[in-house]
């Protein structure tokens, strides 16, 4: 009977978002969505100030959360890095919002496994999974000198739409939102 109670307590802790040590676990709000919705083509929202920043890829193509390609143009004719292979590393809370502020933002973290040399520019990729209406996502990336910690640390305050900030870039699902026009 005691074993059953211990098991029930453990299951209760895990389902409440805590691990065995009682620490809060971060669970992706899109955990039940196949591939976290990261499948298809997303283009940089041309109405955002960050669209004028040349560091932001204009088009990103995701194949089942495993293979990413980045393009310098909206049409996908000028590749920056193609067929980069990634492993999903799990979710992480945005340090500015999660969990003390009312907006709980989760980043999904991906690490490069292999691909052409140009893929190293995108060694670490952090995405806010597709959400909202119209469907959009946010992306940050760093090269092999970067880290997940440095990408997450860029969240030091709320978005300021009056300043150029490439890390708040908005990417819309191609053909569904109109921001790719």
Closest CA to 126 of 164, 101, 95, 102: 95
**Cα–Cα distance, 84 to 20 (Å, whole number):** 36
**pLDDT per residue as tens digits for the range 38-51:** 889 999 998 888 88
**Identity of the highest mean pLDDT range in 4-18, 54-68, 150-164:** 54-68
Entry pTM: 0.81
Residue 19, pLDDT > 70, answer no
**Cα–Cα distance, 166 to 50 (Å, whole number):** 5
Residue 121, pLDDT > 80, answer yes
Whether the CB-CB separation of 45 and 137 falls below 8 Å is answered with no
**pLDDT per residue as tens digits for the range 74-85:** 999 999 999 999
Lowest mean pLDDT of 61-65, 117-121, 130-134, name the range. Answer: 130-134
Closest CA to 26 of 97, 113, 87: 97
Higher-scoring residue by pLDDT: 104, 87: 87
**pLDDT per residue as tens digits for the range 122-176:** 999 999 888 888 888 889 999 999 999 999 998 888 878 788 876 678 899 887 6
CA atoms within 13 A on the CB side of 20: 2
Whether the CB-CB separation of 106 and 92 falls below 8 Å is answered with yes
> Which pLDDT value is given to residue 24?
67
> Which pLDDT value is given to residue 18?
44
């Amino acid at each position: 009977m005691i074993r059953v109670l211990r098991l029930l307590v453990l299951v209760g802790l895990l389902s409440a978002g805590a691990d065995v040590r009682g620490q809060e676990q971060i669970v992706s709000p899109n955990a039940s969505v196949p591939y976290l919705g990261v499948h298809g083509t997303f283009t940089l929202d041309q109405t955002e100030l960050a669209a004028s920043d040349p560091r932001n890829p204009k088009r990103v193509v995701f194949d089942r959360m495993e293979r990413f390609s980045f393009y310098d143009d909206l049409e996908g004719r000028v590749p920056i890095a193609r067929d980069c292979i990634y492993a999903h590393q799990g979710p992480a809370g945005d340090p500015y919002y999660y969990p003390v502020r009312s907006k709980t933002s989760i980043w999904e973290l991906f690490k490069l496994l292999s691909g052409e040399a140009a893929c190293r520019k995108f060694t670490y990729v952090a995405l806010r999974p597709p959400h909202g209406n119209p469907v959009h996502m946010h992306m940050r990336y760093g090269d092999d000198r970067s880290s997940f910690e440095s990408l997450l640390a860029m969240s030091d305050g709320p978005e300021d739409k009056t300043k150029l900030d490439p890390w708040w870039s908005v990417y819309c699902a191609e053909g569904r939102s109109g921001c790719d026009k």
